[in-house]
Structure 1
Amino acid sequence: MQIIAQQALLPEGWAEGVAITVQDGLIASVAPAGPGAAANAGTVVPGMANLHSHAFQRGFAGLTEQRGAARDSFWTWREMMYRFALQLDPDGAQAIAEMAYVEMLEAGFTRVGEFHYLHHAPDGRPFDDRAEMSARIFAAADATGLSLTHLPVFYARGGFGPQPATEGQRRFLNGVDGFVDLVRRCDAMATRPGDVVGYAPHSLRAASKGDLMALTAALTDRKVHIHIAEQVKEVEDCLAFSGSRPVDWLFDHMEVTPDWCLIHATHLSEDEVTRMAKSGAVAGLCPVTEANLGDGIFAGRDFLSAGGRFGIGTDSNVQIGLAGELQALEYSQRLSLRERNVLTPVPGSTGEQLFTAALAGGAQALGAPEPVIAVGAPADLVALEDPFDLGTGGAQTLDRWIFGRDIRVRDVWVRGAHLVQDGRHRARDAIAQRYGQVVRAVLAQ
């Protein structure tokens, strides 16, 4: 297969008239298109990693936007999420994940980090196969073609103290030994090229110091993701319990390396910003969900100035969009600092700098190959279409995609498989039908 791009983002920069040859899922050659070669793609860029997703939450997107008598918050939203989670069987969870993954591919994501904590039956008892629900995530990724970094979540407590888990959390809970067994079972499912299995202590409120130490000792050489400092209440509770802020506590008690991804990290002190940036760990930012839940605004400029790395995720999947996440990230900084073009370490295109930084950070966080259009790399590619054919250069095309409304994702390839054509996933219709049936049934309960 050969893709002839009008322009492409190569490791050395933008190039016009590029012929990309794909063989056995990998890029076999990258060369100038010959004289008279007709382009079959517009602007081609590497596929992006979505480093943080709770796929099942796609099922209630837009259904929590009604305020009750009390003041609404992340914590009231969480109770609604628990009620939805308690009603899903394995078939339903898979159907919703497939819909989310179709939409991710159509948005230009080619890999997902699935932060998966819906482990057990609705009554809280493990399935006969402890990894049954994880198996449905692998099946959804296979059905849609999306590359997967699976992150089974360890969840043992309901809060600092430790507080006992609530009834709404009963499907999430594991002891250390059972959880390690679950991860090992997931290893056996990772059979596709590029499949990765890491793990994720849910948060400091859900995993104790002893839990974290036992997990890192048992599950070595893996990617580790953790929610941290997402909400002010979480910071206050951690201070009350331990005398330390969450990120400071983590760095004081654990060896945080570039294999770690700290999700949200919304509420940081200046010292925590510096410690996190210098560690090489990735900040996992989900600005659309963070705005939806009222989390707050990440200290983006200070973090980048300190050498920090970030990637983007769709988290609750309330809206699934690659360009939308990057736009929301930059706009949050503009609103906070009352400036424009904030997340640009050097003069130049804001869209290109956001995109390339998120490419690198997302791949690092998910243990994926370097996302480049180069010989030997997986053929994970996204073709953007300019319906007005304005002839803008590559960087400006990214600016128009992220901050404008003209540019759209036309085609997506994952390891050479042409999954999205003319903006639609090839299996969208059947997957959307199953998704609708499942969500209607859940809402009717």
Structure 2
Amino acid sequence: MQTTIGAPQSSLFFEQALLPEGWARDVRITIVDGRVATLDADCAAMPDDDRHGCALPGLPNLHSHAFQRGMAGLAEIRGPAQDSFWTWRDVMYRFVARMTPDDVQAIAALAYVEMLEGGFTRVGEFHYLHHDRDGARFADPAQMSAAIIAAAAESGVGLTLLPVFYAYAGFGAQAPRAEQARFLHDIDGYARLIARAADIAATALPDAIVGVAPHSLRAVSPEQLGLLTALAADRPIHIHIAEQTGEVDACRAWSGQRPVEWLLDHAAVDARWCLVHATHMTDAEATAMARSGAVAGLCPITEANLGDGIFPTAPFLAAGGLYGLGSDSNVLIDATEEMRLLEYGQRLAHRSRNLLARATGRSTGGDIYTAALAGGAAALGVPSGLAVGLPADIVSLDLDHPSLVGRTGDGLIDALTFAAGRAGIDCVWRYGTKLVSHGRHHARARIVARYRTVLETLSG
């Protein structure tokens, strides 16, 4: 069943709203065919308006592997050796080995419902599960991508689909592992996948975008990276990079350079690019990355869960770098927790407070929110904010929540981020249609029931 989004016409009234130019009072928004048709501040509510206390623009989630929602909690048992990303990856390979397209759709639909309930209204789906369980190609090269698109349509979330190109197991074109057979492509097959996925997405979703995603420097050759950059044209380009120290060491052994250093020297990195994680950089790399215009794709919950490390915000932001937030492994889906953990990680690393506020007297929560909004939208190839002509992607807050009582403006975002969490979210509109009321997605019960059936089968 598909969620119908893009209601023909509706009108909303908010006591306060965060607009591109800042906070405004008594804001009335009319929506026509999913987009903001009019937006007026300091005005009176009309009798038929749907009235709420506070409106925020919905946040983009710039990095997700939706199918991994189904393995949340499965990799929390200590092994005989030192646990790391690499041991977690072995658990993931075993989990993914049995999944069908229907399984992927069921798991992704729940992940997307939880994203909407948690304040994310658009997702960048970094999708690398392409082929059948034995690695055989489907007759339709985009069959797995179609499952992701169907899950987005069913839940109503906005989608920037990022089909992943994966060819090798390690730097220097190492032969892929048997467990990676479902991920692999050559350039011609990948080009067909992109074209087919774009056709399906254009039919199923109102404002879908399809980008290009070389998985990582270890999974593509330099020649393939150049071809993929050309194939992308003006599409978004996303890549995992410098997530683990082992990756940095392997890249240096192969090339003599660190991953971000090598990429900036050998690819035309610009504002089309999102460098996901980029955790392990020198100050010089962080500065150069910021100046390239690329967005840093930060996933604090997953990076903490995997023991990856902490992103070097100070040199990156000092050079004007843009960042956005993603839920990555989807072990916990919560936009407010991503924001909170981003700041708390910096506090723990530097033994100081309010490090992501832009200047003295600035709100930490407010500055993280607006940075994640702008950087995430840029990475996903869409405009951001509440403005005439843009999709009506709106999050309202429950001003009766104890942690939000008496708060206004950026103080509301501080209280949401550091106190209320996702419990402070009331309603969510995506492309003009209210999908979440009182913190609960309208299709949650049905989607959870199917998810439960799939997980019982996969675990059996």
User: How does the TM-score come out when normalised to structure 2?
Assistant: 0.94
Give the Cα separation in 2 of the matches to 1:301 and 1:334: 12
* Alignment correspondent of 1:393: 408
* Alignment correspondent of 1:171: 182
* Alignment correspondent of 1:194: 207
* Alignment correspondent of 1:137: 148
* Alignment correspondent of 1:239: 252
> For residues 297-329 of structure 1, what are the alpha-carbon distances to aligned partners after superposition, in whole Å with 9 as ceiling and x for unaligned?
000122111100000000000000000000010
Q: 1:325-344 to 2 correspondence within 5 Å?
A: 325-344=338-357
Tell whether 2:420 aligns with 1:411.
no
* Alignment correspondent of 1:19: 28
Count of residues in correspondence between the two structures: 443
CA contact (8 A) 2:165 2:184 kept: yes
Residue 159 of structure 1 and its aligned partner are, at CA, apart by 0.4
* Alignment correspondent of 2:75: 64
Give the Cα separation in 2 of the matches to 1:216 and 1:65: 37
Q: 1:3-402 to 2 correspondence within 5 Å?
A: 3-31=12-40, 32-34=42-44, 40-191=51-202, 192-347=205-360, 348-369=362-383, 371-387=384-400, 388=402, 390-402=405-417
Q: 1:416-435 to 2 correspondence within 5 Å?
A: 416-435=432-451
Deviates most, 391-400 or 149-158: 391-400
Residue 218 of structure 1 and its aligned partner are, at CA, apart by 2.7
Deviates most, 215-224 or 247-256: 215-224
Secondary structure of residue in 1 paired with 2:420: coil
Distance 1:115 1:40, change over 3 A: same
Give the Cα separation in 1 of the matches to 2:439 and 2:252: 48
Residue 35 of structure 1 and its aligned partner are, at CA, apart by 6.9
Residue 358 of structure 1 and its aligned partner are, at CA, apart by 0.3
Residue 27 of structure 1 and its aligned partner are, at CA, apart by 0.9
User: How does the TM-score come out when normalised to structure 1?
Assistant: 0.97
CA contact (8 A) 1:10 1:374 kept: yes
Secondary structure of residue in 2 paired with 1:8: strand
Unmatched runs of 5 consecutive residues or more in structure 1: none
Residue type at the aligned position of 1:400: A
Give the Cα separation in 1 of the matches to 2:156 and 2:373: 19
Give the Cα separation in 2 of the matches to 1:236 and 1:422: 48
Give the Cα separation in 2 of the matches to 1:204 and 1:422: 43
Give the Cα separation in 2 of the matches to 1:297 and 1:237: 20
Please provide the CA RMSD for this pair: 1.3
Residue 18 of structure 1 and its aligned partner are, at CA, apart by 1.3
Distance 1:29 1:119, change over 3 A: same
Residue type at the aligned position of 1:428: R
Give the Cα separation in 1 of the matches to 2:19 and 2:101: 41
Percent identity among equivalent residues? 54
Secondary structure of residue in 1 paired with 2:31: strand
Give the Cα separation in 2 of the matches to 1:342 and 1:172: 39
Residue 219 of structure 1 and its aligned partner are, at CA, apart by 3.0
Secondary structure of residue in 1 paired with 2:257: coil
Residue 429 of structure 1 and its aligned partner are, at CA, apart by 0.4
Deviates most, 357-366 or 33-42: 33-42
Secondary structure of residue in 1 paired with 2:388: coil
CA contact (8 A) 2:373 2:385 kept: no
Residue 144 of structure 1 and its aligned partner are, at CA, apart by 0.6
Residue type at the aligned position of 1:245: R
Give the Cα separation in 1 of the matches to 2:323 and 2:390: 22
Please identify runs of 4+ aligned residues in structure 1 that moved more than 4 A: 35-39
Residue 346 of structure 1 and its aligned partner are, at CA, apart by 1.7
Give the Cα separation in 1 of the matches to 2:277 and 2:154: 29
Secondary structure of residue in 1 paired with 2:253: helix
Residue 30 of structure 1 and its aligned partner are, at CA, apart by 1.5
